[in-house]
């Protein structure tokens, strides 16, 4: 069975005050062409459909047109809400859409049921692929859904583990999970929402029962092990992604025999799961993101600008002039109309540059960060009673509704 895996469309997003709607419309048309050429049985959209919980009318209209074109055929469409989406808005009209083969994740309230998808002309109606739609969840959501496990659900991994165990998965079938979480070890980009201290980390082994875990949330396409995959964003949303190659992921699941054992194993290592093949189909944006560096005179030289594609790409320009150039952005935009960001790299900026402790802060837990702040402000560490109070507040803030 062939599946197209998408995620993190972030429709309506603005990057450095530039609206990306035109770029998104262009890339969605390209994705539709790929879907038409590949003819998958299902398309999976793993969260962050929109960039905001209350999306713009433009963004909603764009997704409406995209969804209508995707559903124009016998394929099934599966969509979940991500951390940027409103779960309630994504779930709106789901009962009506089910009849058209468009399945939207509900607001999470408990056990998620699998949705069967059959292969075209396979002649085996008893061997569907079961698709499980798990929207973005936090520990507090899992505790509300499973109050009897409240004491044991303390982390995002605990929450995912509880949600997956409640799915009652049939191991004799091929099972696919669509989810939107951060798996420990995945490589992030600057355009993603960062959780302090790795609070949102999920262990990859919670997905071990699935033949394929189609994940969203991380913007750089990557594998976590053999069967857990982030397809990445279809567009670049920060200059940290300038070197990324954006693509559409195609996942092809082979058959199992009736006993639930795989019928062939590509690497010769039986693991009880079906054979899986993953391909990437490149996407070409209407405007790419590029970084260029040099003096003002160098980067505005007509030959240099022509080679850089000045009129057809987004740019971060790093000027090496020792003195700031008057009205640099305005003058650069006469040559580079899509300048998104201007920085200087010279003796002054290098001398003034301070050690950035952001990464160190991110590696610490919220409690550790607050502990250090408290000690700095009060010249003493917190008492155990104060620590318990802080833990309770942290849980309410980071574990509660976004």
Report pLDDT digits (tens) over 41-87.
Answer: 999 999 999 999 999 999 999 999 999 999 877 899 999 999 999 99
Q: What pLDDT does 100 receive?
A: 82
What does the mean pLDDT of the chain come to?
86
- The 3-state DSSP class for residue 212 equals strand
Q: What pLDDT does 296 receive?
A: 97
Closest CA to 45 of 211, 209, 214, 206: 214
pLDDT over 50 (residue 402): no
Please, which residues bridge with residue 103 across strands?
A: 78
Q: What angle do CA 234, 85, 360 make, to 5 degrees?
A: 75
DSSP 234-264: SS--SGGGTT---EEEEEEEPPB-TTS-BS-
Report pLDDT digits (tens) over 234-289.
Answer: 999 999 898 889 999 999 999 876 454 444 444 433 467 899 999 999 999 999 99
**Residue 58: exposure state from Cβ atoms within 10 A (0-12, 13-18, ≥19):** middle
Closest CA to 336 of 367, 299, 361, 297: 299
Model confidence band, residue 349 (pLDDT cutoffs 50, 70, 90): confident
Instruction: Read off the DSSP letter of residue 53.
Output: S
Alpha-carbon span 203 to 224, nearest angstrom: 10
Other residues' Cβ atoms within 10 Å of the Cβ of residue 49? 30
Model confidence band, residue 400 (pLDDT cutoffs 50, 70, 90): very low
Tell me what percent of the residues of the chain surpass a pLDDT of 70.
Answer: 85
Average pLDDT over every residue of 351-368: 59
Q: What pLDDT does 218 receive?
A: 92
Report pLDDT digits (tens) over 193-211.
Answer: 555 445 678 889 999 989 9
Q: What pLDDT does 389 receive?
A: 85
Q: Locate the DSSP E strands across 35-163.
A: 42-46, 76-80, 102-104, 115-117, 129-133
Q: What pLDDT does 394 receive?
A: 77
Q: Contact 105/134 with Cβ under 8 angstroms?
A: yes
Token duo for residue 400: 């509660």
Q: Among 2.60.420.10, 3.60.21.10, 3.30.1380.10, 3.20.20.150, what is the CATH number of 2-282?
A: 3.60.21.10
pTM over 0.75: yes
Q: What pLDDT does 123 receive?
A: 57
Q: What pLDDT does 192 receive?
A: 52
Name residue, tokens 């603005």: 14
Residues 6+ away with beta carbon under 8 Å from 35: 4, 43, 70, 75
Residues 331, 335, 338, 339, CA torsion sign: negative
Alpha-carbon span 2 to 250, nearest angstrom: 7
Token duo for residue 46: 């793993």
pLDDT over 50 (residue 179): yes
Please, which residues bridge with residue 5 across strands?
A: 44, 249
Closest CA to 218 of 141, 284, 200: 200
Element (H, E) at 313: strand 313-319
């Amino acid at each position: 069975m062939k599946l197209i895996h998408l995620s993190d469309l972030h429709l309506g997003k603005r990057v450095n005050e530039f609206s990306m709607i035109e770029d998104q419309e262009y890339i969605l048309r390209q994705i539709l062409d790929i879907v038409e050429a590949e003819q998958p049985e299902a398309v999976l959209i793993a969260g962050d459909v929109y960039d905001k919980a209350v999306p713009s009318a433009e963004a909603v209209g764009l997704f409406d047109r995209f969804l209508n074109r995707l559903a124009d055929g016998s394929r099934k469409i599966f969509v979940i809400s991500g951390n940027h989406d409103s779960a309630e808005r994504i779930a709106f009209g789901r009962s009506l859409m089910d009849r058209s083969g468009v399945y939207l994740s509900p607001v999470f309230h408990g056990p998620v049921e699998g949705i069967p998808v059959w292969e075209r002309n396979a002649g085996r109606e008893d061997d569907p692929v079961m698709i499980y739609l798990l929207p973005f969840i936090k520990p507090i959501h899992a505790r509300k859904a499973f109050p009897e496990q409240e004491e044991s659900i303390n982390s995002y991994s605990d929450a995912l583990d509880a949600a997956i165990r409640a799915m009652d998965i049939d191991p004799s079938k091929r099972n696919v999970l669509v989810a939107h979480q951060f798996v420990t070890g995945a490589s992030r980009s600057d355009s993603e929402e960062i959780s302090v201290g790795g609070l949102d980390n999920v262990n990859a082994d919670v997905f071990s029962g699935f033949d394929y875990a189609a994940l969203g949330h991380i913007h750089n396409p990557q594998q976590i092990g053999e069967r857990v995959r982030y397809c990445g964003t279809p567009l670049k949303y920060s200059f940290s992604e300038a070197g990324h190659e954006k693509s559409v992921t195609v996942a092809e699941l082979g058959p199992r025999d009736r006993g639930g054992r795989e019928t062939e194993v590509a690497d010769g290592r039986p693991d009880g799961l079906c054979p899986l093949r993953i391909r990437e189909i490149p996407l070409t944006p209407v405007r790419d993101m590029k970084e260029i560096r040099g003096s003002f005179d160098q980067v505005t030289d007509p030959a240099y600008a022509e080679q850089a594609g000045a009129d057809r790409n987004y740019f971060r320009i790093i000027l090496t002039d020792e003195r700031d150039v008057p009205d640099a952005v305005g003058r650069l935009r006469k040559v580079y109309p899509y300048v998104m960001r201007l920085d200087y790299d010279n003796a002054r900026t290098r001398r003034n540059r301070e050690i950035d402790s952001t990464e160190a802060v991110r590696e610490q837990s919220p409690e550790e960060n607050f502990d250090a702040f408290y000690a700095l402000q009060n010249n003493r560490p917190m008492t155990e009673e104060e620590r318990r109070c802080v833990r309770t507040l942290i849980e309410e803030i980071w574990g509660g509704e976004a």
